[in-house]
Amino acid sequence: MTQRLSPKLSALLERFYQRDRNALARLITLVENREVSVAALMDSIYSRAGRAHVIGFTGPPGAGKSTLVSRLITRYRNLGSEVAVLAIDPSSPFSGGAVLGDRIRMADHFTDHGVYIRSLSTRGSHGGLSRAARETMLVLDAFGYDPILVETAGVGQTELAIMDLAHTTVVVTVPESGDSIQVLKAGLNEIADIFVVNKGDRPGAQRLKTELELSVKLKGSQGWRVPVLVAEAVNDKGIDEVLRAITDHRAYLATNSDSEVDKEKRLREFREILTTELSEKASRALKSEALAHVVADVKEGKVNPYEATQSILSDLAVLARMFVVPLEKTARGQW
């Protein structure tokens, strides 16, 4: 049963449907803060999404992803597209918020109302992607932005989680980040739809391009052939070729959809949403008065965590209180 929306959230959604950017920003904040109303919100807008092309950009820190994205924004704006950018940033160890400032990195587009840029913190999420990233993309999609450019933090050895979020994955690397063996070790060769060797004026760029082309050839493919492009984003060179490759890949996907792959993606999305919802409801329930005695007994060592868990899972009345929470009795009571 779909949870009804509070009057306040309904009013906010109405403004959102009228393309009010302030309402958009507020809804994304609700998503990122994991408000109790997020599930109902996403259910309401889900049917309006699914039109945007989501392009993920990943690769090592310092590869010039932000500059490349900024150049592509300009190209898309020249074509009349309204663009959204989701920058997945490393988390502050103190606040949990995004450390890198999106408007500092993409200041050229600050005053352009056809561009919406938002930073999300990773908050320790595996692969550098926060769990709010998927919902935020759906919100941006439902608002009408197309394309949506997602830039990952580039933290750690892999950013493989981008594969489930993006339709087209652009792996950006640079000569000084190491040869293609490092790319293969990181697993990026498996998710790349397009390779971009950025900072192509530096020594080793052409060698890296050749090695990546060889790895693509050895991998083999009966479908999309992954292009390896050389660019100099800071000098605005090679950007048109990158845009053309992205456009070609979108056209390829439109005529070569794999129904089994799509089914598996929808199943993984469902599992992620279900496990997240259960986890968040359990966390809120443990802060409630209904389970205060159980929490106290665990803290005092009167019962061990396994015994406490089993007692909760075997009590249907307790489970009902945990997972069926009336709207007016939500933890924050705000939405």
pLDDT in tens, 248-266: 999 999 988 777 777 888 8
Q: How many C-beta atoms surround the C-beta of residue 229 within 10 A?
A: 20
Residue 83 φ then ψ, to 5°: -115, 140
Q: pTM for the whole thing? A: 0.81
Ranges in the chain, pLDDT < 50: 1, 91-103, 124, 126-128, 155-158, 326-335
Per DSSP, the residues of 46-83 read GGG-S-SPEEEEE-STTS-HHHHHHHHHHHHHHTT--E
Q: Specify whether the CB–CB gap between 166 and 134 falls below 8 A.
A: no
Q: Specify whether the CB–CB gap between 322 and 314 falls below 8 A.
A: no
Q: Specify whether the CB–CB gap between 237 and 200 falls below 8 A.
A: yes
For the segment 111-135, what is each residue's pLDDT rounded down to a tens digit?
A: 788 999 988 865 545 444 556 788 8
Residue 95, pLDDT score: 39
Per DSSP, the residues of 170-188 read EEEE-GGG--HHHHHHHTH
Sign of CA dihedral 323, 283, 123, 119: positive
CB contact set of 283 (below 8 Å; sequence gap of 6+): none
What separation in angstroms does the CA of 267 have from each of 55, 74, 164?
21, 36, 11
Both tokens of residue 56? 């993920």
H helices present in the chain, as ranges: 7-17, 21-32, 38-45, 65-78, 102-105, 132-143, 162-165, 180-186, 188-191, 205-219, 239-255, 259-285, 292-300, 305-313, 316-323
Query: What b/e sequence results for 236-256 when a residue is b if at least 16 CB atoms lie within 10 Å of its CB, and e otherwise?
Result: eebbeebeebbeebeeeeeee
Cα 232 to chain centroid, rounded: 26
Which CATH number is associated with domain 51-256?
3.40.50.300
Can you give the residue ranges of every domain in the chain? 1-48, 51-256, 261-329
Residue 93, pLDDT score: 36
Residue 129, pLDDT score: 56
